[in-house]
Amino acid sequence: MKGKVTIAGAKNAALPILASTLLGGGDCVLSNLPHVRDVTTMIKLLGLLGVRNHVEKESVLLNASEATSTEAPYELVKTMRASVLVLGPLLARFGKATVSLPGGCAIGTRSVNLHLKGLMALGADIQLEHGYIRAQASRLKGNQITLDLPTVTGTENLMMAGCLAEGTTTIHNAAKEPEIVDLAMFLINRGGKITGAGTDVIVIEGVKELHGAAHTVMPDRVEAGTYLMAAAITGGDVCVDRCIPGHLRTVLNKLQEAGSTIEEKEKAVRLCGPDRLKPLEVRTMVYPGFPTDLQAQMMALMSVADGISVISETIFESRFLHVPELQRMGASIEVDGPHAVIKGVPKLTGAPVMASDLRASAGLVLAGLAAEGQTSVSRVYHLDRGYERLEEKLQALGGAVQRVAGSV
Ligand code: EPZ
């Protein structure tokens, strides 16, 4: 793979930022939203809740001043778990919310118990009935919240709820992902009073209301990491433009350890892949550790590394669904609980494989780019949730990739 690829806005920053428009009236003008299915789904959900949106060429204007409904229906929530991000804003703005419990998904049960525990600490009455979360609160009251684990969307839900609560909310053991900092910046620009975003203690002073603001969504670090790995697995030379190298520190470090040559610029990274990757030990961790969202992609790389690698998945309980698919391509992988031991083979061979979740499908595409012969990935709708124009961007880098008409 050779050439330059431009990174889109971060899906996992765009989703909470979109949900947060429910917190107040006024025009919110969002730029650099990625053109991916999850963003379209979120805008549709906001429309159902009464948030007006006006799509421009380079931005989307949203206005929640006439938002009325407080119910997020199962039909929509089941297609995107991140819909749970409307829970905090609806409760904070309207004093009530009915949100379908997001089901599990391929990578795990994905409980939201910590979101609910935190909202109850802010005075919400939460009932679970018929698969719905029914939340009520005359007015949320600030409180000290300590999260059992640094849940990303849990931290986001509680930070948004705290913006309009009475008094001060402190979130201890908060997630530190860059997407949380991006959301906090947007909320602060709208009059929110937040300090500590990006650290494990976030303090939010409740205010009466939030006004509108403009915001440019941060670049997608997972998309950037995926293209860097496309260069690494094919021994290519790719410049990933409009990304933030500082968001990828542990990923760049591991790719360097595997033998890649990396050149960093302020908003770009250039990676030249080696002829043969060296084996690694990788453990997924919360930010700033190695991101779980790049674990499947890294496993594709290690499948053809020169030796034995170990990848440990510590965030989700079943995020190895790409393993049997990689094995169909000739990978030699043994899974033992949260650990996958990968014995690198000289070459993978193309095969028909099936995507199971967004990031696993990206891993299969990377494997296909490096494999001998043709690989067909089915259920590519998973890819469309989080990757903007994937096949176009890979083709522009010289990848022999095409979307088969009528494929799902
Ligand atoms: C966010 O999911 C991301 N999604 C995920 O990206 C990402 O993989 C994940 O964070 C971890 O980085 C969005 O931001 C929209 P968590 P989230 O709550 O917030 C458990 C992608 O591919 N947990 O940090 O749902 C949970 O089961 C997606 O873009 C509880 O037990 O992840 C998991 O094992 C996939 N109770 C762990 O914590 C809770 O209340 C981390 O989950 C919440 C979480």
- Identify whether 105 is a catalytic site residue: yes
Index of the ligand 1 atom closest to the CA of residue 292: 8
Cα dihedral sign, 73-10-111-321: positive
- Which of 28, 105, 239, 243 is flagged as catalytic? 105
CA atoms within 13 A on the CB side of 146: 1
Distance CA 383, CA 77 (A): 18
Bridge pairing between strands 237-241 and 268-272: antiparallel
Distance CA 128, CA 68 (A): 22
Index of the ligand 1 atom closest to the CA of residue 116: 40
pLDDT value at position 351? Answer: 98
Contact assessment for residue 130 and residue 101, using Cβ atoms and an 8 Å cutoff = no
Index of the ligand 1 atom closest to the CA of residue 386: 29
pLDDT value at position 74? Answer: 87
The model's pLDDT over 204-221, given as tens digits with 9 standing for 90+, comes to 999 999 999 999 999 999
Contacts of 108 (CB under 8 A, 6+ apart): 316, 317, 318, 319
Closest to 86 measured CA to CA, from 115, 46, 117: 46
Q: What is the CA(202)–ligand 1 centre distance, in A?
A: 18
Contact assessment for residue 153 and residue 19, using Cβ atoms and an 8 Å cutoff = no
Low-confidence ranges of the chain (pLDDT < 50): none
- Give the residues surrounding ligand 1 with Cβ less than 6 Å away: 11-12, 15, 82, 108-115, 149, 151-154, 292-293, 315-316, 358-359, 386
The model's pLDDT over 189-198, given as tens digits with 9 standing for 90+, comes to 999 999 999 9
Q: What is the CA(220)–ligand 1 centre distance, in A?
A: 16
Mapping DSSP onto H, E and C, the string for the chain reads CEEEEECCECHHHHHHHHHHHHHECCEEEEECCCCCHHHHHHHHHHHHCCCEEEECCCEEEEECCCCCCCEECHHHHCCCHHHHHHHHHHHHHHCEEEEECCCCECCECCCCHHHHHHHHHCCCEEEEECCEEEEECCCCECCEEECCCCCHHHHHHHHHHHHHCECEEEEECCCCCHHHHHHHHHHHHCCCEEECECECEEEEECCCCECCEEEECCECHHHHHHHHHHHHHCCCEEEEECCCHHHHHHHHHHHHHCCCEEEEECCEEEEECCCCCCCCEEEECCCCCECHHHHHHHHHHHHCCCCEEEEECCCCCCCCCHHHHHHHCCCEEEEECCEEEEECCCCCECCEEECCCHHHHHHHHHHHHHCECCCEEECCHHHHCCCCCHHHHHHHCCCCCCCCCCCC
Q: What is the CA(261)–ligand 1 centre distance, in A?
A: 31
Index of the ligand 1 atom closest to the CA of residue 357: 22
Q: What is the CA(11)–ligand 1 centre distance, in A?
A: 14
Beta bridge partners of 5: 240
Which residue minimizes the CA distance to atom 27 of ligand 1?
A: 110
Contacts of 244 (CB under 8 A, 6+ apart): 178, 218, 219, 221, 267
Contacts of 240 (CB under 8 A, 6+ apart): 4, 5, 7, 224, 227, 228, 268, 269, 270, 271
pLDDT value at position 103? Answer: 66
* Ligand 1 pocket: which of 81, 99, 110 to mutate (most atoms within 8 A of CB): 110
The model's pLDDT over 37-50, given as tens digits with 9 standing for 90+, comes to 999 999 999 999 99
pLDDT value at position 405? Answer: 77
Contact assessment for residue 223 and residue 195, using Cβ atoms and an 8 Å cutoff = no
Contacts of 252 (CB under 8 A, 6+ apart): 228, 245, 262, 264, 269
Q: What is the CA(115)–ligand 1 centre distance, in A?
A: 11
Index of the ligand 1 atom closest to the CA of residue 316: 34
* Ligand 1 pocket: which of 42, 87, 120, 151 to mutate (most atoms within 8 A of CB): 151
